[in-house]
Protein backbone atom coordinates (compact mmCIF):
# COMPACT_ATOMS: atom_id res chain seq x y z
CA UNK A 1 0.00 0.00 0.00
CA UNK A 2 1.34 3.43 -0.92
CA UNK A 3 1.85 5.98 1.83
CA UNK A 4 3.12 9.55 1.93
CA UNK A 5 6.21 10.74 3.77
CA UNK A 6 6.45 14.16 5.37
CA UNK A 7 9.63 16.01 6.42
CA UNK A 8 9.54 19.10 8.65
CA UNK A 9 12.66 21.20 8.06
CA UNK A 10 12.96 23.58 11.04
CA UNK A 11 14.78 26.61 12.37
CA UNK A 12 15.29 25.83 16.06
CA UNK A 13 15.22 28.19 19.05
CA UNK A 14 16.63 27.86 22.56
CA UNK A 15 13.17 27.26 24.04
CA UNK A 16 11.66 23.77 23.97
CA UNK A 17 8.08 25.05 23.95
CA UNK A 18 8.75 27.28 20.94
CA UNK A 19 10.30 24.38 19.04
CA UNK A 20 7.51 21.99 19.92
CA UNK A 21 4.98 24.54 18.66
CA UNK A 22 6.94 24.95 15.40
CA UNK A 23 7.15 21.17 15.02
CA UNK A 24 3.41 20.88 15.58
CA UNK A 25 2.70 23.48 12.90
CA UNK A 26 4.92 21.59 10.47
CA UNK A 27 3.34 18.25 11.31
CA UNK A 28 -0.15 19.68 10.84
CA UNK A 29 0.87 21.16 7.49
CA UNK A 30 2.32 17.81 6.37
CA UNK A 31 -0.84 16.00 7.51
CA UNK A 32 -3.01 18.55 5.67
CA UNK A 33 -1.04 17.62 2.54
CA UNK A 34 -1.87 13.94 3.21
CA UNK A 35 1.48 12.87 4.68
CA UNK A 36 1.06 9.76 6.83
CA UNK A 37 4.57 9.22 8.23
CA UNK A 38 6.19 12.51 9.31
CA UNK A 39 9.76 13.06 10.52
CA UNK A 40 11.33 15.92 12.52
CA UNK A 41 15.02 16.93 12.59
CA UNK A 42 17.59 15.63 15.06
CA UNK A 43 17.29 17.10 18.58
CA UNK A 44 14.63 19.53 17.37
CA UNK A 45 13.69 20.52 20.94
CA UNK A 46 16.50 23.06 21.26
CA UNK A 47 19.60 24.60 19.77
CA UNK A 48 22.35 22.16 18.82
CA UNK A 49 24.11 22.18 22.19
CA UNK A 50 26.93 19.84 21.16
CA UNK A 51 28.97 22.76 19.82
CA UNK A 52 30.61 22.89 23.24
CA UNK A 53 31.22 20.60 26.21
CA UNK A 54 28.93 21.99 28.90
CA UNK A 55 27.68 19.92 31.83
CA UNK A 56 24.69 22.22 32.22
CA UNK A 57 23.35 20.94 28.89
CA UNK A 58 22.54 17.58 30.47
CA UNK A 59 19.59 19.32 32.10
CA UNK A 60 17.95 19.30 28.66
CA UNK A 61 17.65 15.50 28.71
CA UNK A 62 14.41 13.65 29.41
CA UNK A 63 13.26 10.05 29.73
CA UNK A 64 11.78 7.96 26.91
CA UNK A 65 8.84 7.86 27.10
CA UNK A 66 8.63 11.36 28.53
CA UNK A 67 7.27 14.83 27.75
CA UNK A 68 8.30 14.93 24.08
CA UNK A 69 6.97 11.45 23.38
CA UNK A 70 3.72 12.30 25.13
CA UNK A 71 3.25 15.52 23.15
CA UNK A 72 4.06 13.86 19.83
CA UNK A 73 1.90 10.86 20.72
CA UNK A 74 -1.13 13.07 21.37
CA UNK A 75 -0.60 14.78 18.03
CA UNK A 76 -0.13 11.48 16.20
CA UNK A 77 -3.35 10.13 17.69
CA UNK A 78 -5.32 13.28 16.84
CA UNK A 79 -4.11 13.44 13.22
CA UNK A 80 -3.90 9.65 12.76
CA UNK A 81 -0.34 9.89 11.46
CA UNK A 82 2.97 8.30 12.39
CA UNK A 83 5.58 10.72 13.80
CA UNK A 84 9.34 10.14 13.95
CA UNK A 85 10.84 12.37 16.63
CA UNK A 86 14.26 12.93 18.16
CA UNK A 87 14.99 13.14 21.88
CA UNK A 88 18.00 13.77 24.13
CA UNK A 89 17.30 10.72 26.27
CA UNK A 90 18.18 10.48 29.96
CA UNK A 91 18.36 6.72 30.49
CA UNK A 92 19.88 6.84 33.95
CA UNK A 93 22.16 9.08 35.98
CA UNK A 94 25.21 9.62 33.77
CA UNK A 95 23.83 7.60 30.83
CA UNK A 96 22.38 9.63 27.98
CA UNK A 97 21.51 8.82 24.37
CA UNK A 98 20.67 10.59 21.13
CA UNK A 99 17.42 8.77 20.48
CA UNK A 100 14.86 8.53 17.68
CA UNK A 101 11.31 7.50 18.54
CA UNK A 102 8.33 6.40 16.46
CA UNK A 103 4.84 7.33 17.62
CA UNK A 104 2.29 5.23 15.77
CA UNK A 105 -1.00 6.59 14.44
CA UNK A 106 -2.77 5.59 17.67
CA UNK A 107 -0.29 7.63 19.72
CA UNK A 108 1.59 4.63 21.11
CA UNK A 109 5.38 4.40 21.23
CA UNK A 110 6.03 1.90 18.44
CA UNK A 111 9.82 1.92 18.42
CA UNK A 112 13.03 3.41 19.80
CA UNK A 113 16.47 3.70 18.22
CA UNK A 114 19.60 4.99 19.96
CA UNK A 115 22.13 6.59 17.64
CA UNK A 116 24.94 4.13 17.01
CA UNK A 117 27.68 6.26 15.44
CA UNK A 118 28.68 9.17 17.67
CA UNK A 119 30.89 11.91 16.14
CA UNK A 120 33.58 13.94 17.85
CA UNK A 121 34.62 16.83 15.62
CA UNK A 122 35.02 20.58 16.10
CA UNK A 123 31.57 21.90 17.12
CA UNK A 124 30.15 18.35 17.07
CA UNK A 125 31.28 17.16 20.49
CA UNK A 126 28.69 14.43 20.77
CA UNK A 127 30.89 11.88 22.51
CA UNK A 128 30.83 14.16 25.56
CA UNK A 129 27.06 13.77 25.78
CA UNK A 130 25.89 10.54 24.20
CA UNK A 131 26.47 6.90 25.02
CA UNK A 132 26.59 4.82 21.80
CA UNK A 133 23.33 3.03 21.06
CA UNK A 134 22.84 -0.50 22.30
CA UNK A 135 19.51 -1.44 20.69
CA UNK A 136 21.01 -2.33 17.33
CA UNK A 137 19.59 -1.09 14.05
CA UNK A 138 15.83 -0.76 14.00
CA UNK A 139 13.04 -1.22 11.47
CA UNK A 140 9.71 -0.43 13.11
CA UNK A 141 6.30 -1.67 12.04
CA UNK A 142 3.72 1.12 11.84
CA UNK A 143 0.16 1.47 10.62
CA UNK A 144 1.36 2.52 7.18
CA UNK A 145 4.53 0.49 6.68
CA UNK A 146 7.84 -0.62 8.12
CA UNK A 147 10.25 2.29 8.62
CA UNK A 148 13.96 2.34 9.41
CA UNK A 149 15.48 4.68 11.99
CA UNK A 150 18.98 6.11 11.73
CA UNK A 151 20.34 9.46 12.97
CA UNK A 152 22.65 12.03 11.32
CA UNK A 153 26.23 10.67 11.58
CA UNK A 154 24.78 7.24 10.78
CA UNK A 155 24.22 8.69 7.29
CA UNK A 156 27.80 8.03 6.27
CA UNK A 157 27.88 4.30 7.11
CA UNK A 158 26.70 1.82 4.45
CA UNK A 159 26.66 -0.95 7.06
CA UNK A 160 23.95 0.86 9.03
CA UNK A 161 21.77 1.35 5.98
CA UNK A 162 22.27 -2.24 4.87
CA UNK A 163 21.33 -3.86 8.17
CA UNK A 164 18.30 -1.62 8.58
CA UNK A 165 17.15 -2.45 5.05
CA UNK A 166 17.67 -6.16 5.67
CA UNK A 167 15.30 -5.84 8.62
CA UNK A 168 12.55 -4.94 6.18
CA UNK A 169 12.49 -1.15 6.19
CA UNK A 170 10.74 0.38 3.19
CA UNK A 171 12.21 3.81 3.94
CA UNK A 172 15.28 4.92 5.91
CA UNK A 173 14.61 8.05 7.97
CA UNK A 174 17.59 10.19 8.97
CA UNK A 175 16.75 12.94 11.49
CA UNK A 176 19.69 15.30 11.02
CA UNK A 177 21.56 18.33 12.39
CA UNK A 178 24.40 19.05 9.99
CA UNK A 179 25.87 22.33 8.83
CA UNK A 180 28.84 24.36 7.68
CA UNK A 181 31.57 25.93 9.70
CA UNK A 182 31.04 29.47 8.29
CA UNK A 183 34.73 29.94 7.48
CA UNK A 184 34.66 26.77 5.33
CA UNK A 185 31.42 27.39 3.50
CA UNK A 186 32.78 29.37 0.56
CA UNK A 187 35.52 26.88 -0.30
CA UNK A 188 34.01 23.56 0.71
CA UNK A 189 30.28 24.16 1.22
CA UNK A 190 28.90 22.94 -2.09
CA UNK A 191 31.10 19.82 -2.07
CA UNK A 192 30.10 18.97 1.50
CA UNK A 193 26.38 19.11 0.75
CA UNK A 194 26.86 17.15 -2.45
CA UNK A 195 28.78 14.42 -0.63
CA UNK A 196 26.10 14.26 2.08
CA UNK A 197 23.32 13.93 -0.47
CA UNK A 198 25.25 11.49 -2.68
CA UNK A 199 26.12 8.99 0.03
CA UNK A 200 22.49 8.78 1.11
CA UNK A 201 21.23 8.39 -2.44
CA UNK A 202 23.75 5.57 -2.74
CA UNK A 203 22.20 3.87 0.30
CA UNK A 204 18.82 4.05 -1.44
CA UNK A 205 20.21 2.50 -4.63
CA UNK A 206 22.35 -0.19 -3.00
CA UNK A 207 19.50 -1.35 -0.78
CA UNK A 208 16.46 -0.69 -2.96
CA UNK A 209 14.75 1.55 -0.39
CA UNK A 210 13.44 5.09 -0.07
CA UNK A 211 15.60 7.51 1.91
CA UNK A 212 14.27 10.56 3.77
CA UNK A 213 16.73 12.96 5.43
CA UNK A 214 15.44 15.99 7.37
CA UNK A 215 17.76 18.74 8.57
CA UNK A 216 17.46 22.04 10.43
CA UNK A 217 18.33 25.48 9.04
CA UNK A 218 19.83 28.70 10.36
CA UNK A 219 22.92 29.93 12.18
CA UNK A 220 23.46 28.71 15.74
CA UNK A 221 26.31 29.74 18.01
CA UNK A 222 28.59 32.78 18.17
CA UNK A 223 28.08 35.40 15.46
CA UNK A 224 31.61 34.94 14.09
CA UNK A 225 31.60 31.18 14.47
CA UNK A 226 29.09 28.49 15.29
CA UNK A 227 27.37 26.44 12.62
CA UNK A 228 25.15 27.30 9.67
CA UNK A 229 22.80 24.35 9.23
CA UNK A 230 22.37 23.70 5.54
CA UNK A 231 18.81 22.37 5.34
CA UNK A 232 18.55 20.61 1.96
CA UNK A 233 16.18 17.98 3.39
CA UNK A 234 15.16 15.49 0.72
CA UNK A 235 13.39 12.28 -0.18
CA UNK A 236 14.72 9.93 -2.84
CA UNK A 237 13.38 6.70 -4.30
CA UNK A 238 15.13 3.31 -4.67
CA UNK A 239 16.78 4.52 -7.90
CA UNK A 240 18.21 7.45 -5.96
CA UNK A 241 16.00 9.91 -7.82
CA UNK A 242 15.15 13.02 -5.78
CA UNK A 243 11.40 13.20 -5.25
CA UNK A 244 11.34 16.30 -3.06
CA UNK A 245 14.04 18.65 -1.81
CA UNK A 246 14.08 21.71 0.44
CA UNK A 247 16.16 24.87 0.29
CA UNK A 248 19.36 25.48 2.26
CA UNK A 249 18.01 28.39 4.27
CA UNK A 250 14.35 28.36 5.25
CA UNK A 251 11.88 26.16 7.14
CA UNK A 252 9.86 23.98 4.79
CA UNK A 253 7.56 20.98 4.75
CA UNK A 254 8.19 18.29 2.14
CA UNK A 255 5.77 15.55 1.12
CA UNK A 256 6.58 12.61 -1.17
CA UNK A 257 5.06 9.24 -1.90
CA UNK A 258 6.51 5.86 -0.89
CA UNK A 259 5.28 3.01 -3.08
CA UNK A 260 6.30 -0.50 -1.92
CA UNK A 261 5.41 -1.85 -5.37
CA UNK A 262 8.03 0.43 -6.93
CA UNK A 263 10.55 -0.85 -4.38
CA UNK A 264 9.72 -4.42 -5.41
CA UNK A 265 10.14 -3.60 -9.10
CA UNK A 266 13.50 -1.94 -8.55
CA UNK A 267 14.81 -4.88 -6.55
CA UNK A 268 13.71 -7.33 -9.24
CA UNK A 269 15.68 -5.47 -11.89
CA UNK A 270 18.63 -4.56 -9.67
CA UNK A 271 18.86 -7.65 -7.43
CA UNK A 272 21.73 -6.46 -5.25
CA UNK A 273 20.32 -8.17 -2.16
CA UNK A 274 19.97 -11.47 -4.03
CA UNK A 275 23.56 -11.45 -5.22
CA UNK A 276 25.26 -10.58 -1.95
CA UNK A 277 28.13 -12.92 -1.05
CA UNK A 278 27.36 -13.23 2.63
CA UNK A 279 29.94 -16.02 2.91
CA UNK A 280 32.73 -13.59 1.96
CA UNK A 281 32.02 -10.57 4.13
CA UNK A 282 33.62 -11.70 7.38
CA UNK A 283 36.50 -9.19 7.11
CA UNK A 284 34.03 -6.30 7.39
CA UNK A 285 33.91 -7.04 11.12
CA UNK A 286 37.57 -6.08 11.51
CA UNK A 287 38.58 -2.51 12.44
CA UNK A 288 41.24 -2.49 9.71
CA UNK A 289 42.80 -5.14 7.50
CA UNK A 290 46.48 -4.59 8.16
CA UNK A 291 48.97 -5.90 5.65
CA UNK A 292 50.79 -9.01 6.77
For residue range 130-178, list pLDDT tens digits in order: 999 999 999 999 999 999 999 999 999 999 999 999 999 999 999 999 9
> What stretches of the chain adopt beta strand conformation (E)?
3-11, 37-39, 82-92, 95-103, 109-114, 120-121, 124-125, 138-141, 146-149, 171-175, 179-180, 210-214, 216-220, 227-230, 234-236, 242-245, 252-258
Q: Is 42 a catalytic residue?
A: yes
225 in any annotated domain: yes
242 in any annotated domain: yes
Catalytic residue, chosen from 115, 126, 220, 236, is: 115
168 in any annotated domain: yes
145 in any annotated domain: yes
Task: Give me the number of domains the chain comprises.
Answer: 1
pLDDT block averages, 10 residues each, the chain of length 292: 97 97 98 98 98 97 98 98 98 98 98 98 97 97 98 98 98 98 93 98 98 98 93 98 97 98 97 97 93 71
74 in any annotated domain: yes
What predicted TM-score, i.e. pTM, was given to this entire model? 0.97
Neighbouring-strand partners of residue 10: 216
Q: Is 264 a catalytic residue?
A: no
Catalytic residue, chosen from 4, 12, 39, 42, is: 42
Q: Is 220 a catalytic residue?
A: no
CATH code at position 43: 3.60.110.10
Q: What is the pLDDT of residue 292?
A: 65
Which residue range is the domain that position 98 belongs to? 3-285
181 in any annotated domain: yes
290 in any annotated domain: no
Query: Between vectors from CA 229 to CA 227 and to CA 234, what angle results, nearest 5°?
Result: 160
Neighbouring-strand partners of residue 213: 174, 234
Catalytic residue, chosen from 50, 152, 236, 258, is: 152
291 in any annotated domain: no
**Cα distances (angstroms) measured from residue 240 to each of 6, 171, 211, 235:** 18, 12, 8, 9
Amino acid sequence: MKFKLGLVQMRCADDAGTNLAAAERGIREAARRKAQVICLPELFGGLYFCQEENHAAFERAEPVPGPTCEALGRLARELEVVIVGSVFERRAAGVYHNTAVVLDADGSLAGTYRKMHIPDDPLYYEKFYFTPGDLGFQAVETKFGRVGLLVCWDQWYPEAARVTALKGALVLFYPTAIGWHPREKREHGAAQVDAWRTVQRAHAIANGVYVAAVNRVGHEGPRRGGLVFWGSSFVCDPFGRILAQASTGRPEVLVAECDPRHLETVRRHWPFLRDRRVDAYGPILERHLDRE
